[in-house]
Each structure stands twice: as structure tokens, then as C-alpha cells.
């Protein structure tokens, strides 16, 4: 798809914020409140994806030094803010893009539909959330920042009654043959059930079943997966059928599906207690 200009991408106000805001020391996780904060998230994405990881920006992105597309105006932007850095763009050290079904309908599709047939997800009867554009500033890539991002997602899921989360997760590189071990591991050990199994579009499909079971060490394969992908699997995540090469981002993508009833129970217990306490006041 063709990316919008930065101004048009932020012309539509973000969706109303969920009751979300968690502080841990100097770090805070919450939703972006205005166009300035959305721009800060886009600037962080540009630093990580394009300057650090070597993705290929459009001319407009390179001039603006921001990553943006049609979805930015309709989704919610989850931010981790480091107040020790002061204010402005530099204070935003982590971000996630959250696209509910209502937001996707405004664009006409979910983001992942450019790579996968996600009709089984789009037609799911419960509330659905697409996760994407996750990144953390290099100096802030630590356990506290990542945990705070997940706490923010858990709060969002609870607040909106999300039943199913999904999105594309990336492996580095654009040659699936060199990723035979992790792709085969995901296929043999974490393939989604048929009713919830997106399939890579036929023109972009790469078979993940590249090595038979017993020819690689599953524990070692799991250990070498990117941290974000391992995080999804710890939440009970599954993968769709087929990998997709994303030349723009220099990655090979898999589609992740997570039923939220498998999300770590401690998050749900915490937010249930908080909601009851608020209701009792």
C-alpha cells in the first residue's frame, strides 16, 4: 500500500483511550493522547526499523524521519514513556500499535491482510485486536520496559474485552532457507488450530515445514527465536500457515494468534481486582 504523508496520517484523531495508565518508577505506559505523541511513536519506529534494522523507507518517510501509513490515524498507539528523559520525542522509548476491528474497518482491512488471509480472524465472533509495529529504543531494551509494554497490552485487552489477538511477528532476514530451523520448529510445535489458522497469501507463501521433526533441537530453536516471538509463545500463541518475506523491512514474517484466555492469569487477576475496587467506590 502507499504510505500517507505524515500530516494526513495523523489528520484523524486517535480512538478514545481506554482506562489505561501504569507507572513504574520513571517509566509510564499509556496510550498516545494527541498527534504530537503519535509523531513521537512514528519517530521511534523510524529509528529502530529504518536506521537500526535497515528497512527501506519511502522518500516521504526519509524526509520526515518517521514511519507512517494509513493505519496510524485510526489505531491506538501504546507508549512507554521514560520521564527521566524529560519530554518530547526522546521520552518515548517503546511503542505498540493496537488495531481493533472498528479501526480496521475504517481502513478497509487489517494490516496483516497484505500478507495473510485473515478471514478466520476477521470473522471471529468476539472482540479482536491486531498487534503490530512493536519496538523499543536500543538503550531501553530491558526487562522493565518490555514488562511494562505487556502490562499495558493486558490492561487494554481487559478494558475492551478482547478475546483474540493476532499480528505479524518477524524473523531477521529475507531468505526462508536460512531460517529452516526456527520456521520448522514453529510449524511442528505451535501451528494454530484450523479454525484460527491464517494462511499466507498464495503469491507470498513460503512453506514453514522445511525440516522433519527429530532433525533439530526444539529447545535450542526456541531459545534462538527473537524475544518478541518468544513472548507471544509464552502467552500460548500459535502461528498461521506459511511464512512471508517482507522486503521493505528485511524480515521473514509469521502470523501469530493468541487467545486472551491464555494470557498470563496474574494480569487478569490484577485488573479484575482493580475494576471491582473502582466499581465499589
Establish if 1 belongs to a structural domain: no
Q: Quick one: angle between helices 143-160 and 227-234, nearest 10?
A: 40
Establish if 242 belongs to a structural domain: yes
Name the residue with higher pLDDT: 187 or 13. 187
Establish if 129 belongs to a structural domain: yes
Indicate which CATH number applies to the domain containing 252.
Answer: 3.40.630.30
Of 187, 221, 220, whose CA–CA distance to 205 is shortest? 187
Establish if 145 belongs to a structural domain: yes
Establish if 51 belongs to a structural domain: yes
Number of domains in the chain: 1
Maximum mean pLDDT: which of 109-118, 148-157, 225-234: 109-118
Q: Is 247 left (phi over 0), alpha (psi -120 to 50) or beta?
A: alpha
Q: What is the pLDDT of residues 191-226, one digit of tens each?
A: 999 999 999 999 999 999 999 999 999 999 999 999
Q: What is the pLDDT of residues 8-54, one digit of tens each?
A: 444 444 445 555 778 888 999 999 999 999 999 999 999 999 999 99
Which residue segment(s) compose the domain that 212 sits in?
A: 6-280
Amino acid at each position: 500500500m502507499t504510505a500517507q504523508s505524515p500530516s494526513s496520517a495523523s489528520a484523524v484523531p486517535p480512538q478514545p483511550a481506554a482506562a489505561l495508565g501504569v507507572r513504574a518508577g520513571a517509566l509510564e505506559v499509556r496510550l498516545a493522547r494527541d498527534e504530537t505523541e503519535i509523531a513521537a511513536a512514528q519517530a521511534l519506529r523510524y529509528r529502530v526499523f529504518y536506521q537500526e534494522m535497515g528497512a527501506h523507507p519511502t522518500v516521504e518517510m526519509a524526509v520526515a524521519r518517521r514511519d507512517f501509513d494509513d493505519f496510524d490515524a485510526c489505531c491506538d498507539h501504546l507508549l512507554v514513556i521514560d520521564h527521566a528523559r524529560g519530554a518530547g520525542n526522546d521520552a518515548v522509548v517503546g511503542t505498540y500499535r493496537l488495531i481493533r476491528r472498528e479501526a480496521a474497518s475504517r481502513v478497509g482491512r487489517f494490516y496483516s491482510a497484505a500478507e495473510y488471509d485473515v478471514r478466520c480472524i476477521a470473522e471471529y465472533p468476539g472482540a479482536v485486536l491486531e498487534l503490530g509495529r512493536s519496538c523499543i529504543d536500543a538503550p531501553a531494551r530491558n526487562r522493565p520496559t518490555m514488562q511494562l509494554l505487556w502490562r499495558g497490552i493486558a490492561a487494554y485487552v481487559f478494558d475492551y474485552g478482547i478475546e483474540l489477538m493476532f499480528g505479524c511477528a518477524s524473523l531477521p532476514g529475507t531468505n526462508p532457507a536460512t531460517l529452516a530451523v526456527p520456521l520448522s520448529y514453529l510449524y511442528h510445535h505451535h501451528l494454530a488450530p484450523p479454525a484460527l489458522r491464517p494462511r499466507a497469501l498464495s503469491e507470498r507463501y513460503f512453506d514453514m515445514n522445511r525440516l522433519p521433526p527429530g532433525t533439530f533441537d526444539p529447545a535450542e530453536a526456541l531459545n534462538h527465536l527473537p524475544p518478541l516471538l518468544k513472548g507471544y509463545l509464552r502467552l500460548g500463541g500459535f502461528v498461521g500457515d506459511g511464512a512471508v518475506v517482507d522486503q521493505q523491512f528485511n524480515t521473514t514474517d509469521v502470523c501469530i494468534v493468541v487467545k486472551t484466555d491464555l494470557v498470563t492469569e496474574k494480569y487478569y487477576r490484577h485488573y479484575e481486582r482493580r475494576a471491582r475496587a473502582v466499581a465499589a467506590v
